[in-house]
């Protein structure tokens, strides 16, 4: 059976490295256990853990060894193209980067699962409701849905 791929979208800027990566690590572990491959846009950026808050700008660029904004976007867009499904892990907060990941994935016809609270504005926004395949409140719930619906769902019984 071919392994399926998930891209972990979500907020990075304005968060500490730990805040930006804790749910990603949890999701990655759960998905790998279930036979999924995971593309995390934070891979290779461990040096950002030295910052109190990850903010766009020259300090981040210098830590990343001169990687340009274009290179970051090219890799993220390529990852989204390669993915079978997108998991958005910070659905309670709006961010420009996540909004672009959301729309780009939707324009490619990718299923999108969003983790957010029941009362999150994301669940009530017409664009988000239209573009999302499923809203989950926790990483565990999101991974359970993904595994049940998208992985096993493709196998004929």
Domain residue ranges of the chain, discontinuous segments joined by +: 4-154
- Taking the C-alpha atoms of 119, 16, 141 and 115 in order, what is their torsion angle to the nearest 10 degrees? 40
Q: What is the pLDDT of residue 7?
A: 95
CATH topology of domain 4-154: Rossmann fold (3.40.50)
Q: Tell me which residue of 3, 33, 8 sits closest to 102, measured CA to CA.
A: 8
Query: What values do phi and psi take at 92, rounded to 5?
Result: -80, -20
Write the pLDDT tens digit of every residue in 52-81: 676 766 666 666 777 777 888 898 999 999
pTM of this prediction? 0.86
Instruction: Say which DSSP state 93 is in.
Output: S
**What does the pLDDT read at residue 135?**
95
- Per the model's pLDDT, the better-predicted residue between 155 and 35 turns out to be 35
């Amino acid at each position: 059976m071919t392994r399926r791929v998930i891209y972990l979208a979500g907020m990075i800027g304005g968060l500490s490295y730990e805040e930006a990566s804790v749910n990603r690590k949890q999701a990655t572990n759960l998905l790998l256990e279930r036979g999924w491959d995971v593309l995390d846009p934070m891979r290779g950026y461990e040096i950002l853990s030295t910052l109190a808050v990850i903010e766009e700008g020259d300090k981040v660029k210098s830590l990343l060894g001169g990687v340009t904004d274009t290179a970051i976007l090219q890799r993220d867009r390529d990852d989204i193209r390669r993915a079978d499904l997108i998991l958005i892990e910070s659905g309670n907060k709006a961010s420009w980067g996540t909004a672009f990941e959301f729309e780009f994935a939707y324009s490619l016809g990718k299923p999108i699962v969003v983790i957010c609270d029941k009362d999150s504005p994301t669940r009530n926004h017409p664009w988000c409701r239209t573009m999302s395949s499923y809203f989950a409140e926790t990483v565990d719930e999101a991974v359970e849905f993904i595994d049940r619906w998208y992985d096993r769902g493709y196998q004929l019984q």
